[in-house]
Structure formats: C-alpha cells, structure tokens
Amino acid sequence: MREIKVGIIGFGTVGTGTAKILISQRELIKKRTGIDIILKRVADRDLERPREINLPKGVLVQDAWEVIRDPEIDIVIELVGGIHPAKDFIMEALKNNKHVITANKALLAEEGNDIFNLAKQKRLQVGFEASVGGGIPIIKVMREGLVANKMLAIYGIINGTTNYILTKMTDEGIDFQDALREAQNLGYAEADPTLDIEGIDSAHKITILASLAYGIPLNFKKVYCEGITKITAQDIAFAREFGYRIKLLAIAKILNGEIEIRVHPTMIPENYLIAKVDGVFNAIYVEGDNVGATLYYGRGAGSLPTGSAVVADVVDIAKGNGLIPIDFSEKLSIKPVEEIESMYYFRFTALDRPGVLSKISGVFGENNISIASVIQKGRSKAGAVPLVILTHRAKEKDVLRALQTIDKLPVVAAKSVFIRVEGQES
Amino acid sequence: MREIKVGIIGFGTVGTGTAKILISQRELIKKRTGIDIILKRVADRDLERPREINLPKGVLVQDAWEVIRDPEIDIVIELVGGIHPAKDFIMEALKNNKHVITANKALLAEEGNDIFNLAKQKRLQVGFEASVGGGIPIIKVMREGLVANKMLAIYGIINGTTNYILTKMTDEGIDFQDALREAQNLGYAEADPTLDIEGIDSAHKITILASLAYGIPLNFKKVYCEGITKITAQDIAFAREFGYRIKLLAIAKILNGEIEIRVHPTMIPENYLIAKVDGVFNAIYVEGDNVGATLYYGRGAGSLPTGSAVVADVVDIAKGNGLIPIDFSEKLSIKPVEEIESMYYFRFTALDRPGVLSKISGVFGENNISIASVIQKGRSKAGAVPLVILTHRAKEKDVLRALQTIDKLPVVAAKSVFIRVEGQES
C-alpha cells in the first residue's frame, strides 16, 4: 500500500483536530483511497500544554524545521497562523519540494501570490480548503464541482463570530456590545475581536474566493471592508419591519467585466435562505452561469470541522493529482466601492418639524436617488425622531454626496446611518 | 495541449445542456485545466426535433454504437435514461475501455452494482455527479470533500417535483391534486408523475447516496419508499400549528452499525434550514462525525444545472485521475422499516364522544407509545372530528400494532393517518 507521510506545524486548535482525525480515520481513509497516510511529526513551540490527544512518542517536536526539512515528509501542514514566520515555513517547505496545506487565510490573502507562484513554478500543490468556511468544502466545490461555470456572484456569511453576534442582536433585541460580550464568554469571540468584528477576517476569505472565482491575483488591499460595530438594535428592528435581516456579507461579483469585492453589513430579504443562516454557522451562496443558485452551509470554525477540511486536502494531494493547478493571472479590474450600485437603507435622526422629509427627499432627488419606502416613527421628548428610508438602486457615489449635504441640514440632529441592501428591486 | 474526446448518447434535456456547456465553456475549461475537451459525437434516435443548439456538421448521428465503438472517444456520456438499452450502452462502453458518465439514477440504483464492478475490474471511472441533486456537487462533496468523515446521517430533499407540490400546498392551503395539476402545467411534473410523487425517484437517489456514505452495494429493493399522494392540506395545516413543515425526505443513517434507508413524507421543525428549502430546489443535509452538520442546496434538475454536473465529471476524468475508485463491498445490514424508531404525528378521525382520547391513549400506552402533545378541534356536523397526536420516540412496529387496534375502535370513523417526525425530542 502506498504511504504518504505528513507533518504538522502548529499544535493549537486546528492542529489538534487535524492530528486527531489523521489518527482516528487512518483505517477509513485507507479503505476509501488505498493510501496509508501517516502523521510523522507535529511541531509546536509549546510541548507542555495539555491537549486532548496523546501523540505517539517522538512525533511531537519543538522545531518547525524538523518538519520542513525532513526528507521523508511529503506534505507540510502549516497551522500556526499569522504572516511570519508562517510564510517562511511555507516558502521553505515548497523549496524543499513538499506540498503544502494551510488554513491561514490572512497569509494567503495578503501574501498568497508569492506562495502560489512558487508552488506553480515547483509544480507543487497548495491546499487551502480549511482557509474559508471551516468544514464546508467550498474551495473544492468552486474549483472542481462548478468548473463548468462562470461565477456570476458569491455572497458569503464566512465569519461565525459576527454572525453569532448579529443573530443574538436580532433574536433578543440587545445591543452590539452586549452580544459581543456574550460571544466572548462563550469563546466565539476573542479577547481582541478586531479581526472578526471589523470584517477583516471576512475580507481575507472573500479575497481568496474572488481569486478562485475569477482567476485574478489575490488582492486584499482592494477589498472594501466595513465591520458590524456600528449596527444598532434599532437598525435591526427597522430592517425586520421592512422584511429584512442584517448579515455581514462578503460579496464578490462580476458586472460588465469588472469585479466587485466587498465586505459590509447587508440587509437581505428574510425569505432568502442565506438570511436564515444563524449563530456561528457559515454559508456561501454561489451563482454560476449554468448551475444557477447554489448554497453551501456548515461550521466555519472549530477543531474537528476545520481538521476535516485539512485532511480532505491531504487525501487529494496524497492521490498525487486531481487538483487543477492554481493560476491567478487573469487581469480584471476591481471596482472601488464608490463605483458600485446598490439599494440602500438610511436612518436619519431628524428634528421633529414639518418639511423634514421633503428636504431630505429633495437632496435625494438632486442626486438621482429614488425612494422606495419610508418609515417615520412617532414623536420623541428630545424632539428628534428616526426617519428611515429604503431606496431603489442608486450609485454609491451619489449616496455619499447626498449624505454630505443631508448631514449639514439644520433639521438633521446626528450623523446619518446607511446600510446596503441586496435582493430583488421592489 | 492535451485533448480529450467525448461522445454523448441521448440528446434530450440534459444532453442538450451538456452539449451547450461543452461548447460554450470550452475555452474557460482549457484555461482552468489545460485540457481541451472536444465534443466529437452526439447520438440520438431523433435527428429532426428542433433543439436550442446547432451542433457542427457530422457531430449528430442516429446510432449510439457510433459513439460507443469510436476508438477516438475517451468518455461516453449516457443520457438516455431508463434501464434498457442504457445499461447495455454503458457496459459496452466500459468493455471498449471508455470511461462512462451517467445521470441515470434509476439505472444506477437498480443495476449499478454490475456497472461499478465492471468499471473497477477494467480500472475505469464511472462519473455520476448528475444522478443526484442536479447541479449540486453532492457526489464530489461526499466522496472527496468529506472523505475524513464517517457519515452519521443524510437527509435529502432530492426530488424537485414533490417539493414544489408540498410548497404549493403549504403556501396556498390547496390539496395535493390541485398542486399536482399546477406542477404539470408548469412542466415541473410529468404527464405520468408516478416516479416522482410515489417517492421512487427519491428512493433511487438515496440508494446511491447511502452506498457512497457507507460503502455498501446499491440496494434499491431494501429502501422503504412512501410518496406524498396521501398528504392532505389538513395535515399540512396541523403540522404548521405544531411548528413543523412536511417535506418528502430521503433519509440514510447508521445506528449501532445498522443502516436505515427510507423515503417518506416527514415533519421537520420549521426553524431547521432544510425546512426552508422551497419550490423545485433540492438540498442535502449531511452530518459527518468530524465536520458536523453541513447542507448543500441548488437546482435538482434542468438542462444547464444538470449539464454543469455532467461536465464537472468530464473534467475530473479528463484530468486522468483524482477520483477515488468506487468500492461498494462493505457488508452492513439494512433495517426493515418496521425496526426503526421515530417520533410520530397521528391524525385520527374520531367520533365526537366523551372518552375517545382516553381510549386511544390507552392503546398507545399498551404499545409503549408515549404522547407528547394533542390537538382536538371543535365539533363537526357529521359528528367526526380530527384528533391529532404527536408522540415521543417510539418503535414503528409498536405504532403499526397500535394502529391495528385503534382503527377497529367503534369511536374511530376512518382509517388513521400517521407521518414520521424528525428533530430534537421535546
């Protein structure tokens, strides 16, 4: 029986899950593939921390280079995270003629072109199924399952932390800070939650999916990225009144040969399947020109789900083939966010005086923004009331210009809020 | 550039979609894979029927054997449907050392063991992505994406016709016959809808998924199969009152080393994602021991979606490798439906007299069936009222025995109805 030897660098959450699966499913994988996959070495700086798995003697080592430079090891699995030294480990592994697997979305999104170029030159594989959507085999689906499709659009809920927070806010009417604290207590959010709540993690992941979909180089810096910290319980409640849910969506689409890649809170019609993806779960909606609408759902993080994706890559590479070589050399321009078109939700804090709506709608008219519906709610002691407007499709640049004017109106008492809206135009 | 030549037998709906895609995406696939896939021949008995695509001169022929015996053709795509002569075409193609792709679930479920055995012996591939879930790459997901998982359970909505009918009945409160007629008018149901509405098409498909999941031979004859013809608008309304939706589910699961494979109308909690899959769409929920809950959603039929799946198989085989050889030799027993356990919904037509509930619940008690909740509705002129009961988990065999007794009670005016219920026990 053919043997493949693998080494893991990084024995944290995903490293532990991957090691567990390689050991527990070794017989099953043998039966399914005819290949014996042997976990030869695991490297981690911390040898002492108790883990949920006991490796055979001699497998756990402290020095990553004992994995990278071991001539017996065929596949190096990088699970340390961060840019450095993770990138050095991967580049050196490729130079040593080893296939590489990584779950490191930040590294791929920011420095992945170097990695994929070197791998292509050395005719080696880089597996990255675990970098997006945890256990959901979305990379395989896009590269292979939908290979006969031009990808028209991708809409992803690809960060479990923010989806958990938004679900809590929606279900319980609580504010962002309270939902965040609860997520932290449950271990769904980190002590420093910046990468998640500011949308950066989602932006890393949609960078990768967009390159896969359109064959373009990884271009994290051109991705528009807006987090969920400014979403209020009030906006969520208004969204519900209009029949929408607010989700942090990562979007990639192509329109007239130009690509949009962006991450921002988005209002989605509540009867869309992706609007119903709640809690820490992830889902990616992919629309192909032939297949039409498809959706993939599962756990976007966690030791064993992510390990499941890593081991799927191991098996693919162990089979020696079957992976289409990655070529990210397509030249397509990425639109700045000011150039996009969308529908919009606005919440204005308006002084409760006659003529406010007429003033605001006047500014909209001057900027080619057409109103679809309005909610104006009661009276407030302070004299300021929320005025909520949904628009038809408009240009983002017109919206920004209109807001500059509106926010200076004497009848507007606070900075205005807007959220982009997806769905069929009504 | 490497060239692969393919031939299609059957130029109907899926054949046309496949041909279209092979032609329209030829350059895209070249770019993505480095392989030039050439549609060399299409065979169909009917050369005259107008189709949405004009094949180059000489491609369309009448005789299937011109595809099967052409020494230049590497891959034969069987899209004629039915058992014979489809099986003969496939067996002969394999004997001629050609890889085979088929969308023919009936053939695979009923005669697939012969086909897979011959393919294994000849070391050839049989691609069947298009046989289940149309454009959803569920076969690839299960064989490759989730290769590191034991499959704990599969729940599929894998027949678009019945899902359309049940959705119509649910949304509009109409009866089965009216919804069926509407499905037929829209082309979602055939003139003879038996295969769909009796659950046979779903049973064919779950036979294939169960073999993939558990490595067992295809065993259509052991699959329990019950259609949707007896579902009434009344049962759907009661289900809604309890917070459930009724879907035709295809289920495969393993419990204590024994496998259950069954198709029947099923009540699912309305907050489950799969309960929200409506219209002609399909979805397959797959639970793996490592990945946990996952779900795959898309169009289960149609010319281009199904063609997308066929062409994905073409590309996989064209790469010359990458597909794990199918081995369906695992020996696991399949439980007869009488041996399963489930929760149950019952609707009794009871005469409106005191003591009815006590009599029925008495029979339940004698048969180890424990009641979870009851709805008894008003009075009827005829003196008979529906009495609806949800039970905790019970043995099907106890349920059948109890019903025999209950249906003979003088207070019961019509044959009782039961529907199996999935979800967390309350």
DSSP structural state of residue A334: B
C-beta atoms of B292 and A299 within 8 A: yes
Block residue for tokens 């459930």: B244
**A297 interaction partners in chain B (CB closer than 8 Å):** 273, 293-297
The pLDDT value recorded for residue A320 is 74
Which among A32, A276, A304 has the least Cβ separation from residue B324? A32
Q: What is the mean pLDDT of chain A?
A: 95
Least confident of A294-298, A347-351, B325-329, B363-367: B325-329
The pLDDT value recorded for residue A426 is 63
Spatial distance between the Cα atoms of A166 and A199, rounded to a whole number of angstroms:
13
The pLDDT value recorded for residue A324 is 65
Angle between helices A160-172 and A233-241 in degrees, nearest 10? 70
Q: Please give the helix or strand (H or E) that residue A121 lies within, else none.
A: helix A105-122
**Interface with chain B: mutation pick from A1, A25, A294, A311, highest number of B CBs within 10 Å:** A294
Residue pair A225/A198 in contact by the 8 Å Cβ criterion: yes
Domain B2-131 has CATH 3.30.2040.10: no
Spatial distance between the Cα atoms of B297 and B317, rounded to a whole number of angstroms:
24
The pLDDT value recorded for residue A211 is 98
**A291 interaction partners in chain B (CB closer than 8 Å):** 135, 298-299, 304-305, 308-309
Q: To the nearest whole angstrom, how far is the Cα of A384 from the nearest Cα of chain B? A: 38
Domain segments of chain A as ranges: 2-131, 138-299, 339-421
3-state secondary structure A194-261: HHHHCCHHHHHHHHHHHHHHHCCCCCHHHCEECCCCCCCHHHHHHHHHCCEEEEEEEEEEEECCEEEE
- Chain B, nearest residue to A141 by Cα: B137
Give the pLDDT confidence of B143-196 residue by residue, as tens digits. 999 999 999 999 999 999 999 999 999 999 999 999 999 999 999 999 999 999
Give the pLDDT confidence of A215-247 residue by residue, as tens digits. 999 999 999 999 999 999 999 999 999 999 999
Spatial distance between the Cα atoms of A21 and B202, rounded to a whole number of angstroms:
32
Spatial distance between the Cα atoms of B147 and B102, rounded to a whole number of angstroms:
22
**B302 interaction partners in chain A (CB closer than 8 Å):** 292
Q: Please give the helix or strand (H or E) that residue A264 lies within, else none.
A: strand A258-269
User: Which tokens sit at B79?
Assistant: 């899209």
**B28 interaction partners in chain A (CB closer than 8 Å):** 150
Q: Please give the helix or strand (H or E) that residue A36 lies within, else none.
A: strand A35-43
Residue B243, Ramachandran bin (φ over 0: left; ψ between -120 and 50: alpha; else beta): left
**A19 interaction partners in chain B (CB closer than 8 Å):** none
Least confident of A30-44, A357-371, B342-356, B362-376: B342-356
The pLDDT value recorded for residue B322 is 54
Is A205 a catalytic site residue?
yes
| Range A350-363 average pLDDT | 90
Q: To the nearest whole angstrom, how far is the Cα of A272 from the nearest Cα of chain B? A: 9
Nearest to A136 by CA among A158, A116, A155, A114: A158
Least confident of A49-63, A193-207, A310-324, B364-378: A310-324
Fold of A339-421: Alpha-Beta Plaits (3.30.70)
Give the pLDDT confidence of A100-111 residue by residue, as tens digits. 999 999 999 999
Q: Please give the helix or strand (H or E) that residue B288 lies within, else none.
A: strand B281-288
The pLDDT value recorded for residue A1 is 87
User: Which tokens sit at B224?
Assistant: 């329990």
Nearest to A337 by CA among A403, A390, A260: A260
ipTM of the predicted structure? 0.97
Residue of B20, B205, B247, B253 marked active site? B205
DSSP structural state of residue B129: G
Residue pair A390/A373 in contact by the 8 Å Cβ criterion: yes
* Collapsed DSSP state (helix, strand, coil) of residue B355: coil
Which among B28, B277, B305 has the least Cβ separation from residue A291? B305
Block residue for tokens 């329209």: B24
The torsion of the CA quartet B145, B151, B154, B159, rounded to 10 degrees, works out to 50
Q: Which CATH class is domain B138-299?
A: alpha beta
| Exposure b/e, B77-116, CB count within 10 A at least 16 = b | bbbbbeeeebbebbbbbbebebbbbbbbbbbbbbbbeebb
pLDDT by position in tens, chain B (length 426): 899 999 999 999 999 999 999 999 999 999 999 999 999 999 999 999 988 898 999 999 999 999 999 999 999 999 999 999 999 999 999 999 999 999 999 999 999 999 999 999 999 999 999 999 999 999 999 999 999 999 999 999 999 999 999 999 999 999 999 999 999 999 999 999 999 999 999 999 999 999 999 999 999 999 999 999 999 999 999 999 999 999 999 999 999 999 999 999 999 999 999 999 999 999 999 999 999 999 999 999 999 999 999 999 999 999 876 566 788 999 999 999 999 999 999 999 998 888 899 999 999 999 999 999 999 876 666 678 899 999 999 999 999 999 999 999 999 999 999 999 999 876
Which among B296, B307, B316 has the least Cβ separation from residue A296? B296
C-beta atoms of B292 and A215 within 8 A: no
Give the strand pairing for B292-299 and B281-288: antiparallel
Q: Is the pLDDT of residue A425 over 80?
A: no
The pLDDT value recorded for residue A376 is 85
The pLDDT value recorded for residue B424 is 85
Which class for B413: exposed (0-12), middle (13-18), buried (19 or more C-beta within 10 A)? Answer: middle
* Collapsed DSSP state (helix, strand, coil) of residue A306: helix
Residue pair B221/B336 in contact by the 8 Å Cβ criterion: no
